[in-house]
Amino acid sequence: MASESRVFTAHIPLSLAAKVDEFAAQADRPRGWVVKQALADWVARQEAYRQFTLEGLADVDAGRVVPHEDIAAWVDSLPET
């Protein structure tokens, strides 16, 4: 059974299009496959970023924080590289 899909149109710089074509050729895949993979990865990262942000805000609301002064003291205690 074929999954439903929707066509998106986007104007992208020629240099980016060339890289997509290059990666598609290297992977022996169609350009659309590369674009779908890239978009799926981007969406997953955005979803994770949003979840981490919400978790961080919940920690702040619950008072689970480290004072700035403690962090600054820890940084100052690190050996110089």
Tokens of 62: 């619950």
Mean pLDDT calculated for residue range 1-19: 92
Contact assessment for residue 52 and residue 58, using Cβ atoms and an 8 Å cutoff:
no
pLDDT at 1 over 80: no
pLDDT of residue 81: 82
Residue 39 contacts by C-beta under 8 Å, 6 or more apart in sequence? none
Q: Residue ranges of the domains in the chain? A: 31-65
- Please give the full DSSP string across 2-20, using - where no structure is assigned: PPP---------HHHHHHH
Q: Could you report the per-residue pLDDT of 20-52, keeping only the tens digit for each? A: 999 999 999 999 999 999 999 999 999 999 999
